[in-house]
Structure 1
Amino acid sequence: MLLLLPPSETKRRGGSTSGLDLAALSFPALTDHRLATLAAIGELSRDLDAAVRALKLGPKSADAAALNVDLRTAPTMPAIDRFDGVLYESLDAPSLAAPPRDWLGRNAVVSSALFGLLGALDAVPAYRLSADSRLPGLSLGRHWRSAQSSALAASEGLVLDLRSEAYAALGPAPRRDDSVYLRVVTEGADGRARALNHFNKAAKGRLTRALAETAAAPATVDALLDWAAETGFVLRRGAPGELDLVVGQP
């Protein structure tokens, strides 16, 4: 199973002082693309005021632009611990025992605007770059789409895509029967399903944690639906190529 996760804008600080090792990252075919984004963000970071504008940072988060200045030597930590948005707070990977963390290392991939596809346990620095950021001389969409899509197409088995649409566009998952996109919905009094925004991230975090803790190994969409029924998740087929995770009204 391949579980595709979005990144988060905010990152935990700190980590190992050994620095970034590009050769140790998953999906080595993306190394040249990673070097190109690192070079572009390095050029942008020569002028932090310009970087703040390009990264669309507000006054309260303007200091995040400085994270991009020394990415090759900055402290690193596993990607699954580095990100700390709503999904990752709900997942709470640092609290997981070794077997669920190993499961994440084998099955979970984080889609990053800077590094492309990252294995959950790949060691990366804190940085600031979004799917819609502008880098000098580099369009993130054109830069990543084909390379990441090719890497995902080479995967075998079930693919469950939990990414936001912006990150899914940077590297579309393969179009096949065992590759599905997850939407989080709630049902109103009229029985209609409605998409959730902020609260969908927490639901995805809970789902990811449950998959890891149960060492889930569904080979097909039907097997995933059976697993969900057994573990208390309301997961059902939605639009073609999609699954709906139904949660209560927040």
Structure 2
Amino acid sequence: MRFLLPPSEGKTAPRRGAPLELTGLSFPELTEPRRLVLDALTTLCTSDPGGACAVLGLTSNQSAEVVRNQNLRSAPTAPAWQIYSGVLYGQLDAASLSAAQRARLAGRVWIASALFGFVGFTDHIPAYRLSGETALPGIGSLSRFWRDSLTPLLLGGDESELIVDLRSGSYVKLGPLPAAMAQRAVATRVLQQMPSGPPKLITHFNKATKGRILRAVAQHSGRLRTIEDLAQLIATLGANVTLIPPARAGQPQQLDIVVEVA
């Protein structure tokens, strides 16, 4: 079972660590497109810091993010699970897992990245600022740029492996699930049960629930191969889980996860 995760806007910059080595990351076939995006981002932030703020959607109070991007090649790196620090990763709390549990995730998790395409859970990367909705000078739309590299990559590996897509919309666009693998893929949707009326999509609880699901996966030592296995595990977290067939051919199944929030 493979899990596709979004990154997080919030990142923790390590104080020490080796500099970035693109050839040391997972998915070596992405090395050249990674280099192109890295060059475009660092050049923009170095040559035109003011313009970089506009391109990256930053305010004048976030100029430190531009400076950080200027130094990506020499900045210290740490495992991706330590760099990403948003709500999902906070609930996952990988630092409190055992080494064996983190290794279980390392073999199952791909993290989408506007800068790197996909990175492995333990790949060493620097903290950076770049969203999937950005258009970079010399590159253009990142969703258009990455699509030709990431979608074919998703087709690789074990053809019997279930793909669980936990990515948010802008990161799905970087590498849409190909129709050829729709029958072995499931997209997820997290909703909050309201006091009255139907459940609603709420971003914070969506991210938090996905983090708790990944933590449960890491701690689960039993069989976990099918959608039904995953649904049963999620149900132990107190959620109601419904599997919805695809609306049309070439689309994945959908797992609706309804949580009650006090």
- Per the normalisation by structure 2, the TM-score is 0.89
The 8 Å contact of residues 15 and 77 in structure 1, kept in 2 or not, is answered as: no
Partner of 1:65: 66
Partner of 2:218: 212
Letter in structure 2 aligned against 1:238: I
Where in structure 2 are there 5+ consecutive unaligned residues?
247-252
The 8 Å contact of residues 103 and 215 in structure 1, kept in 2 or not, is answered as: no
Tell me, in whole angstroms, the C-alpha distance in 1 between the residues paired with 2:229 and 2:57.
42
2:257 corresponds to 1:245: yes
The 8 Å contact of residues 4 and 163 in structure 2, kept in 1 or not, is answered as: yes
| Cα separation, partners in 2 of 1:3 and 1:203, compared to 1, 3 Å | same
| Cα separation, partners in 2 of 1:201 and 1:231, compared to 1, 3 Å | closer
Tell me, in whole angstroms, the C-alpha distance in 2 between the residues paired with 1:7 and 1:88.
9
Letter in structure 2 aligned against 1:146: D
Per-residue CA distance 1:183-240 (angstroms, 9 max, x = gap):
1012334552322222211111111111111146522212222333455443221362
* Percent identity of paired positions between Structure 1 and Structure 2: 40
Question: What pairs with 1:94-173 in structure 2 (closer than 5 Å)?
Answer: 94-138=95-139, 139-156=141-158, 157-173=161-177
The 8 Å contact of residues 3 and 164 in structure 2, kept in 1 or not, is answered as: yes
Partner of 1:53: 54
Letter in structure 2 aligned against 1:110: I
Tell me, in whole angstroms, the C-alpha distance in 2 between the residues paired with 1:233 and 1:109.
24
- Across the aligned residues of Structure 1 and Structure 2, the Cα RMSD in angstroms comes to 1.8
Deviation at 1:130, TM superposition (A): 0.3
2:24 corresponds to 1:24: yes
Tell me, in whole angstroms, the C-alpha distance in 2 between the residues paired with 1:152 and 1:60.
38
Tell me, in whole angstroms, the C-alpha distance in 2 between the residues paired with 1:58 and 1:239.
43
Deviation at 1:153, TM superposition (A): 1.4
Tell me, in whole angstroms, the C-alpha distance in 2 between the residues paired with 1:174 and 1:211.
25
How many aligned positions are there?
Answer: 250
Tell me, in whole angstroms, the C-alpha distance in 1 between the residues paired with 2:145 and 2:201.
30
Q: Partner of 2:136: helix, strand, or coil?
A: coil
Tell me, in whole angstroms, the C-alpha distance in 1 between the residues paired with 2:16 and 2:101.
22
2:240 corresponds to 1:234: yes
The 8 Å contact of residues 8 and 85 in structure 1, kept in 2 or not, is answered as: yes
Tell me, in whole angstroms, the C-alpha distance in 1 between the residues paired with 2:167 and 2:222.
19
Q: Partner of 1:26: helix, strand, or coil?
A: coil
Letter in structure 2 aligned against 1:221: I
The 8 Å contact of residues 216 and 233 in structure 2, kept in 1 or not, is answered as: no
Tell me, in whole angstroms, the C-alpha distance in 2 between the residues paired with 1:211 and 1:59.
40
Deviates more, 1:220-229 or 1:33-42: 220-229
Per-residue CA distance 1:102-151 (angstroms, 9 max, x = gap):
01111111100000111000000011000112211212112101211111
Where in structure 1 are there 5+ consecutive unaligned residues?
none
Partner of 1:197: 203
Per-residue CA distance 1:88-115 (angstroms, 9 max, x = gap):
1111112211011101111111100000
Deviation at 1:15, TM superposition (A): 4.8
